[in-house]
Amino acid sequence: MRDAAHGGSLKHEVFHTPFEVNPRFEAWPTPGRYRDYPGGDKLPDKIKVWRVQRPKKRSSGSVVSRGWGFDDSPDAEALVAGYNTGKEYGAVGVGRQGNFLQWGFSAPPSTMTGAGRRLFFNCICYIHKFDGKRPLIRKERGDRTYAVRDAMLINKIKNKEFFRGSFTPEQMEKYKSDPAGLTKVYADGFELIYRDKTYRIDEDLTALGLKSNRTVETLQKLIELLTDAKHADRARRLLQRYVAASFETSAQWQAWFRKNRDRIYFSDVGGYKFRVVPKGYLTKPLR
């Protein structure tokens, strides 16, 4: 990441409280690496950014996180996307997870721009609101977007060990000359992607006519199917696959769901699991 942030939405309170940030926008060339990732082909030749810092020496660069999956749980949010030449568009420049503020820019306040200093101060004030709220999850898996991205790269990366955790040997052989075909498999089945050693499309959910593995409606349907003799075994297998909790009976599942419905969330990064936010953790409702 270089010295600027992308010019996205300025609605978040870190741009307004306690100080107005008022960044000055410039048009910078779109980094070539952005084209290598999903959606990069749709970006313009120049992109709107604003300077966060003006270091005396060119910064070596930094970044908080890939954008993929960073905020797929209620304990995390991407605050600012950083302009970078080595990662995808949307990689996180400033983010929050639980009570941790992650500031990815490298310069001290003395060489930040006025807008950069105001943002830095506002972010420190903002993170104070989350005092004592530890992160809910640790990274266990890669976000499902990685499946699409890695499929696009199978002809561009010569070391096939890179893909060991993404695709099976059979997939690599079948699609070795057809990255577009493998990309389409995962793009078409995006809402059904999960990880079991490699990225997979959930055929069990497809057999039940369910179109996503990460909606609360899907979870509710699986619990209902526990009382259907025809589908109970498959539903139980899927609940084991996708829920961090475990119960023996249909009645226990139903009681758990009724009690926690408004605090249930799904996280790819957290292991492709439904989990429950602790009481009192949320600052606003999930849904």
CA 278, CA 271: separation in Å to the nearest integer?
A: 18
> Radius of gyration over alpha carbons of the chain, in Å?
22
Each of the 287 residues of the chain gets a pLDDT tens digit; together they read 889 999 988 999 999 999 999 999 999 999 998 988 878 889 999 999 999 999 887 766 666 788 888 999 999 999 999 999 888 899 999 999 999 999 999 999 999 999 999 999 999 999 999 999 999 999 998 899 999 999 998 988 889 899 999 999 999 999 999 999 999 999 999 999 999 999 999 999 999 999 999 999 999 999 999 999 999 999 999 999 999 999 999 999 999 999 999 999 999 999 999 999 999 998 788 88
Distance of CA 216 to the CA centre of its chain: 18
CA 48, CA 66: separation in Å to the nearest integer?
A: 20
- 3-class DSSP state of 34: helix
CA 252, CA 21: separation in Å to the nearest integer?
A: 50
Angle 87-91-95 (CA atoms, 0-180°, nearest 5)? Answer: 145
Q: Please name every residue paired with 92 in a beta bridge, in sequence order, or none if there are none.
A: 65, 81
Q: Quick one: pLDDT at residue 68?
A: 86
- 3-class DSSP state of 159: coil
Q: Quick one: pLDDT at residue 243?
A: 98
Backbone phi, psi, residue 88, to 5°: -80, 160
Task: Provide the whole-model pTM.
Answer: 0.89
DSSP label of 215? -
- 3-class DSSP state of 206: helix
Q: Quick one: pLDDT at residue 63?
A: 67
| Beta-carbon contacts of residue 73 (< 8 Å; ≥ 6 apart) | 136, 137, 265, 267, 269, 270, 275
Taking phi over 0 as left and psi of -120 to 50 as alpha, with beta for the rest, 272 belongs to: left
Q: Quick one: pLDDT at residue 85?
A: 86
- Residue carrying structure tokens 């048009």: 27
Q: Is 196 exposed, middle or buried (0-12, 13-18, 19+ CB in 10 A)?
A: exposed
